[in-house]
């Protein structure tokens, strides 16, 4: 029995399990633990592909399993974070009759994440860059945004309408025909990696500005989106 060929899929399953735990934590409004397990899932997601290439055991099963795991960790888990937040936010008086069912609109994020992942699997344009916001970036945005601004989000200055509009906007970014750069370096030259170097410089400045707090993650994701739009090339 060749154990090596099962290692990448086992790591992928660890990603999926991390997403399940993150979702449970999110249902309990334990947002810090939820994003912790999303990050752990992201680490597993990084290594499963690398191990598959290292052991030369890439196959269709691993590709499909990876997408399923990603939709749990980077689709369902952030959607569940937003679901719990919807239960805490302020509702205008006219929305009170639907306040109990409106939180379920958060799972639009999970649906669009699945669509994003499906498109990625069949889109030959996305071998060296992305079309639309990657699901891990979207998950990190929601986790860090909710943790970093929780007090404001549940105050009277914010309400469910604003949160819903943000859900729609970020879901649209997942499937939008917007080329978004990858951080894969083929070499270290400035000419070939100018956008990536500018992005990393901005990340360092944002991390310093936010004193390396978790809040900086959502700012980095917004910086990534804006820089991608500003430098987009025809795919």
Q: What is the pLDDT of residue 194?
A: 86
Looking at the domain assignment, is residue 27 inside a domain?
Answer: yes
The CATH number given to whatever domain includes residue 135 is: 1.20.120
Contact 57, 11 (CB under 8 A): no
Looking at the domain assignment, is residue 112 inside a domain?
Answer: yes
Instruction: Give residue 35's domain range.
Output: 3-230
CA distance 61 to 9: 8
Looking at the domain assignment, is residue 116 inside a domain?
Answer: yes
Q: What is the pLDDT of residue 234?
A: 44
Contact 106, 79 (CB under 8 A): yes
CA distance 24 to 131: 30
* Three-class DSSP category at 130: strand
Looking at the domain assignment, is residue 235 inside a domain?
Answer: no
Provide the 10 A C-beta neighbour count for residue 12: 27
Q: What is the pLDDT of residue 31?
A: 95
Tokens of 93: 């008086």
Q: What is the pLDDT of residue 128?
A: 62
CB-based burial of residue 176 (10 Å sphere; 0-12 exposed, 13-18 middle, 19+ buried)? Answer: middle
Looking at the domain assignment, is residue 153 inside a domain?
Answer: yes
Nearest-10 Cα torsion for 164, 21, 110, 83: -20
pTM for the whole structure: 0.88
If one counts the domains in the chain, the total is 1
CA distance 41 to 103: 25
Looking at the domain assignment, is residue 7 inside a domain?
Answer: yes
Nearest-10 Cα torsion for 109, 111, 116, 121: 150
Q: What is the pLDDT of residue 173?
A: 95
Q: What is the pLDDT of residue 126?
A: 65
CA 209 centroid distance within chain: 22
- Which candidate, 143, 107, 121, 23, places its Cα nearest to that of 72? 23
Looking at the domain assignment, is residue 38 inside a domain?
Answer: yes
Looking at the domain assignment, is residue 104 inside a domain?
Answer: yes
- Angle ∠(153,26,28) on CA atoms, nearest 5: 95
Task: List the chain pLDDT tens, one digit each, 235 residues.
Answer: 567 777 888 889 999 999 999 999 999 999 999 999 999 999 998 887 777 776 666 666 767 788 899 999 999 999 999 999 999 999 999 999 999 999 999 999 999 999 999 888 777 776 667 888 999 999 999 999 999 899 999 999 999 999 999 999 999 999 998 888 887 766 777 877 888 899 999 999 998 888 777 777 889 999 999 999 888 754 4
């Amino acid at each position: 029995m060749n154990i090596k060929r099962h290692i990448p899929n086992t790591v992928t399953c660890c990603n999926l399990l991390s997403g399940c735990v993150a979702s449970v934590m999110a249902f309990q409004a334990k947002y810090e633990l939820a994003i912790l397990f999303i990050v752990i899932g992201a680490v597993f997601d990084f290594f499963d592909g690398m191990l598959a290439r290292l052991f030369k055991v890439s196959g269709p099963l691993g590709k499909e399993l990876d997408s399923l795991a990603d939709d749990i960790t980077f689709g369902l888990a952030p959607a569940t974070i937003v679901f719990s937040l919807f239960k805490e936010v302020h509702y205008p008086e006219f929305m009170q009759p639907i306040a109990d069912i409106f939180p379920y609109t958060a799972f639009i994020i999970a649906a669009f994440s699945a669509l994003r992942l499906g498109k990625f699997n069949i889109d030959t344009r996305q071998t060296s860059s992305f079309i639309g916001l990657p699901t891990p970036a979207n998950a990190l945005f929601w986790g860090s945004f909710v943790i970093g601004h929780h007090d404001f989000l549940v105050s009277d200055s914010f309400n469910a309408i604003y949160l819903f509009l943000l859900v729609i906007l970020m879901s649209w970014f997942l499937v939008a025909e917007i080329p978004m750069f990858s951080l894969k370096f083929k070499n270290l030259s400035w000419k070939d990696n100018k956008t990536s170097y500018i992005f990393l410089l901005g990340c360092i400045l944002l991390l310093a500005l936010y004193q390396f707090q978790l809040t900086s993650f959502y700012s980095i994701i917004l910086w990534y989106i804006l820089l991608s739009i500003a430098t987009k090339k025809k795919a």
